[in-house]
């Protein structure tokens, strides 16, 4: 496990277009091995299928940060899926900012230069290390930790 993943208490929900390079099962498994519970991967047929509700639900239930990786602009297999995703991410960012959360808890990366899923995930994880755990999840995490301590007694 890398030092970043050990130190980082942030959980990332990463939604990504299945059409990006090197996003197969082996690539996902290597990321999950490296980051453990700090990353949850969600392959989607097209980033344009992602709705704000998916991002908001991830932030509400388990993630401190939610990101979307799309095809490069102008290269979407379904013509404008990545542009729809970009608009939806921006709208979701506005929603979370209106309730007092940092807008950078929601992000989008348009896959330029055909970077692999693993490389992009590493870059995202590096960019979010300065964020603190989400205040939305604090009560939920405290409850989980109490449950784990009881189980260990």
141-151: pLDDT as tens digits: 656 655 655 55
CB 48 within 8 A of CB 81: yes
Band of the pLDDT at 72, cuts 50, 70, 90? Answer: confident
Query: How many domains is the chain partitioned into structurally?
Result: 1
Give the CB-side neighbour count of residue 91, counting CA atoms within 13 A.
12
Which of the four pLDDT bands, split at 50, 70 and 90, describes residue 3?
A: very low
115: domain CATH number is 3.40.50
Domain holding 13, by residue range, is 3-152
Cβ atoms of residues 39 and 11 within 8 Å: yes
Indicate whether 113 pLDDT > 90: no
Which residues have a Cβ under 8 Å from the Cβ of 13 and sit 6 or more positions away?
40, 42, 55, 58, 59, 62, 63, 65, 66, 67
Mean pLDDT of the chain: 86
**pLDDT tens-digit readout, 12-54:** 999 999 888 777 888 889 999 999 999 999 999 999 999 999 9
Q: What pLDDT sits at residue 143? A: 62
Amino acid 5: pLDDT:
41
Q: What does DSSP assign to residue 62?
A: T
Six-digit token pair at 134? 């989400």
Say yes or no to pLDDT of 1 above 50. Answer: no
């Amino acid at each position: 496990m890398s030092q970043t993943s050990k130190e980082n208490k942030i959980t990332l929900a990463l939604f990504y277009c299945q059409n990006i390079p090197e996003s197969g099962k082996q690539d996902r498994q290597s990321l999950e091995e490296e980051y453990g519970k700090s990353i949850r991967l969600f392959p989607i047929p097209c980033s344009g299928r992602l709705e704000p509700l998916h991002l908001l639900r991830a932030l509400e239930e388990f993630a401190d940060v939610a990101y979307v990786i799309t095809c490069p602009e102008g290269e979407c297999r379904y013509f404008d899926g990545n542009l729809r995703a970009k608009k939806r991410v921006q709208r979701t960012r506005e929603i979370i900012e209106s309730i007092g959360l940092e807008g950078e808890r929601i992000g989008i990366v348009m896959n330029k230069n055909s970077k692999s899923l693993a490389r992009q995930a590493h870059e995202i994880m590096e960019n979010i290390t300065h964020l603190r755990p989400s205040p939305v999840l604090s009560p939920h995490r405290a409850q989980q930790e109490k449950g784990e301590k009881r189980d260990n007694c």
